[in-house]
Amino acid sequence: MMADAQQDHINFDVMFATHNAFRRDLERLEAAAVAGKTDTPEVRAGWENFKHQLHIHHTVEDERLWPTVQSKVGDKPEPNELLREMEAEHGQLDPVLTAVDQALATKSPDLIDRIKELGAVLGDHMKHEEEAALPLIQETCTNADWKNFAAGMARAQGIKGAAVYIPWILDSISPAERQKFLVNMPPPARALNKLFWESRYHKKQLWKF
């Protein structure tokens, strides 16, 4: 273990907030499916945004986060096995996402089952990441490593992406959780969100049915 990593405490609030936003959206998709309302433009827009956010989240993890952790753990078998599991779990998501897409397109009677399957696969992965991978990151990485990952996420989103990502995270969360998330955002982004982004996001009424 690196000495400087021992002294660092990494703030995972943004990671947890992002995971919770994925969980929330899947609950909304299932509710729309139960009501037979998945063909509204707002539900479809919510689903497309969910897929977009998930793609960015996992792509940046694969390209920037897991390689950094691997460089820290070297050839230690247990951490490397965990990293292989993270990679494999990401790979398992593509088929279940495609299955939901197909079920939505064809209005398949097994749509709810496909949504539940996606929820199980993604939910298990996020729980595994929270309970095993984040502690490994805390143990082996520094705040500088984590900030490098966060910077990669910001670059992948860009300004246009941030204009959706930030209010998407804030959608329906508690005031306390809102504050925990926003304190991690740059002051200009917080100002833009307050002045423009959040109101524009809510006008889209994602998931309305």
Residue 23 has pLDDT above 50, yes or no: yes
Contact yes or no for 96/118 (Cβ under 8 A) = yes
- The structural architecture, per CATH, of the domain 3-158 is Up-down Bundle (1.20)
pTM of the shown model: 0.95
CA pair distance 53, 207, nearest whole angstrom? 15
Residue 1 has pLDDT above 70, yes or no: no
Q: Which long-range contacts (CB under 8 A, 24 or more apart) does 72-75 make?
A: 72/2, 72/5, 72/140, 72/141, 72/145, 73/136, 73/140
Looking at residue 8, its pLDDT comes to: 77
Sign of the torsion angle spanned by Cα atoms 34, 38, 40, 45: positive
Tokens read off for 146? 């984590």
Looking at residue 175, its pLDDT comes to: 98
Tokens read off for 80? 């490397």
Looking at residue 99, its pLDDT comes to: 98
Task: Dump pLDDT digits (tens) for 107-127.
Answer: 999 999 999 999 999 999 999
Task: Dump pLDDT digits (tens) for 155-198.
Answer: 999 999 999 999 999 999 999 999 999 999 999 999 999 999 99
Tell me the backbone φ, ψ of residue 85, rounded to 5 degrees. Answer: -65, -40
Task: Dump pLDDT digits (tens) for 133-161.
Answer: 999 999 999 999 999 999 999 999 999 99
Report domain extents, the chain.
3-158
What confidence category does residue 5 fall into, taking pLDDT thresholds of 50, 70 and 90? very low
